[in-house]
Amino acid sequence: MLGKTSKSKGPEKAKGSSTNPIAKKLELAKKYNLGKKEMLEMLSNIYTSRKTDDAEISMKKQSKAFFQISGAGHEGILTAAAMVLKPKHDWFLPYYRDRALCLGLGVTPYEMLCQANGNMGDTASYGRMMPAHWGNKPLNIVNKSSCTGTQFLQACGLAEAGIWFKKLRDEHKVDVSGMDFHDDEIVYVSTGDGTIAQGEFWEGMTTACVNNLPVLFMVEDNGFAISTPTSVQYPEGSISKTLANFPGLKIFNCDGCCPIDSYATMTEAAKYIRTTRKPALVHATVTRPYSHSLSDDHGMYRTKAELAEEGLRDVFNAFPKFLIEAGVITETERADLLKKVSADLKTAMDKAITTEWPALDTVMDHLYSEEVDMTGSNFETAADFTGKDDVPMASSINKVLRTEFHKNPLLRMWGEDVADFFDKARLDNPELKGKGGVFKLTANVQRESKDGQVFNSPLAEANIIGRAIGMAIRGIKPVVEIQFFDYIWTAYMQLKNEMATLRYRSGGDFKCPMVVRVPIGGYLKGGAIYHSQSGESLFTHVPGIRVAFPSNSADAAGLLRTAIKGDDPVMFLEHKHLYYQGYNRAADPGDEYMIPFGKARIAREGKDATIVAWGALVQKSIEAAKKLEAQTGKTVEVIDLRTLAPYDFEAIKKSISKTSRLMIAHEEHKTSGFGGEITARVNEECFELLDAPILRVGALDVHCAYNPALEDLILPQVSHVEEVLAKLLSY
């Protein structure tokens, strides 16, 4: 691990004027207290990083590693960054080229080579992630996924968490001694020149500047995104020129191939952020002497002359050459250092290759929380119904949000229009009632919580989820809202590839427990294609996510409180049509009422057939069952699953062991809907209990139309359920 620089005596100034490049670098080194000791530390880290790359390449050729992507050419700026920034103090979201940074912060070559081999010496993921996917909880290096661009919004969330802890301590007088934060902390997030083409880079940049977040955006510009040059990616081929007039952003440029220039730049950038608490961007020009990865051959699109010229700039060659020519070290010292580093890497590689692989019986570990079981009896709380007038589902959800936010300052909520007001000065204005969400479900939550606990987000779904992941990593419990399910797809990368995987891919070292509330479904006249979608199976299919889908007021209250108090990410799907219905109202169950996930409710007893449903289809199934009973005398049991991940398969099995007939009714499209999963499992495990084929009711496999008559035909109605149920009973 690279330490902070001391004021050790630097080398003697080289002969010649200060216009001499060597002399100018020595003057800069002296200005920033970089002596021989510090520059040797730099060279050692550069050599170690490059030789670790080479060791991985060797392992790949031996089939002892299964992927390789190098940090070659980036070592100068990253070594400097590691010397300036503080492990265990600052926070780091490095991208896959940042090997030298992580080595400088304290990760060992052995740990990196263990990741290449996929064994238990890999402290970033314990055999779950590819090489160059950094993570180290003690050093505050957040586990990295393979996604490009998701890290910027998460960095904003990490920074916002630190600001919130400080606000709780200083303004609200809340004891936050158990939270890991520092008043001058920096959140480092890095990227190559290719990834800044991603929209979330610009969302993250805007969020950081609007909110004055202490984020250091590191752009390591090696000129190519695989084979695509920077000249075709953004104006003038320079991100720093493109952002030159971006309000609220301080920009620093440096030669990332020169560790001394990089150190000077990083020192100034870090000083700026620690002092102003505002974001900065460091644009470092570097090289890429190796191909993008071992799956790429840059000789197919870069000439030998271009590569030779770049080789002269390569820090692995240029920096020791400078040190020798400047008289800082001798050729013998350089050779001895490289020999020692190479020998150490050989030892680390031999050890890594023989380190044990994960035990096969751990394959399902860390998928969900091992601390808080949301499906267990510890979450089952008896209802204390007040006996007051029944309230609609919307009011029940609102009550839970108001009471839980009032009690817990570590809860935070944001989304589009969820706050009562966009600034606290309007809270006491008698002329204004406040917004509180487009369906009024978050009304007065801002009023009844601490200043800053509830706020509005930009009109950007990925922004909402990415920031939530960052905050959740640091111990805040986000309860965020996506305004309409139909527009959740821009956030799907963050939800599926980031939120759902973090605990598993880090071997339990990191987690992001959070609640994502989403109005879903149709049956609202005029909703049309983009306000009527159902797609719960897109989330039940993702390991690591809990999915709740209540059908009534009491269940919504109990499940939402469980989600908030749980330790896993939850998709809390709220059917818009059910918010203010009369048939699903219930008395207030009290401020402690909770329902465990994975426990179904018998909505109607019966003995001749079973209907499994959720959301809006629960009531429609009950009505159809009543009609069939009146016509035939046969009774139908209706099971409200309430949660889909996990779902109560035992309740289904118990019911069909009595009725011998099963129908599944849901609003989602019939093809590939969640009913198909239940059907398959019943067929595999309970086939002998059935006296008839399993039948399904779902929406037609077409988009929901605006015309009311077409909508009634597309979405499942009571008549559709009744028709299929009659067929099931008569089989």
Catalytic residues: 531
Extract long-range pairs of 360-366: CB within 8 Å, 24+ residues apart.
Answer: 365/507, 365/508, 366/503, 366/504, 366/506, 366/507, 366/508
CB-CB contact of 596 with 628 (8 Å): no
The sheet with strand 454-456 has its strands ordered as 454-456, 411-415, 477-481, 515-520, 570-575, 546-548, 643-645
Assign 3-state DSSP to the chain and report helix, strand, coil percentages, each to 5.
45, 15, 45
- For residue 152, what are the CA distances in angstroms to 187, 197, 207, 410, 566? 10, 12, 10, 22, 26
| C-alpha closest to that of 479 among 563, 545, 553, 420 | 563
DSSP state of 5: P
Quickly tell me which residue has 């016509």 as its tokens: 631
Token reading at 512: 């992001």
N residues, the chain = 731
Please tell me the distance from the alpha carbon of residue 374 to that of residue 547, in angstroms, as a whole number: 11
Give the number of other Cβ atoms within 10 Å of residue 58's Cβ.
17
Please tell me the distance from the alpha carbon of residue 319 to that of residue 682, in angstroms, as a whole number: 66
Q: Roughly how many angstroms between the first and final C-alpha of the chain, as a whole number?
A: 73
Query: For the chain, what is the radius of gyration of the CA atoms?
Result: 29
| C-alpha closest to that of 731 among 608, 617, 624 | 608
Please tell me the distance from the alpha carbon of residue 601 to that of residue 551, in angstroms, as a whole number: 10
Please tell me the distance from the alpha carbon of residue 445 to that of residue 447, in angstroms, as a whole number: 5
Q: CA 56 from chain center: how many Å?
A: 28
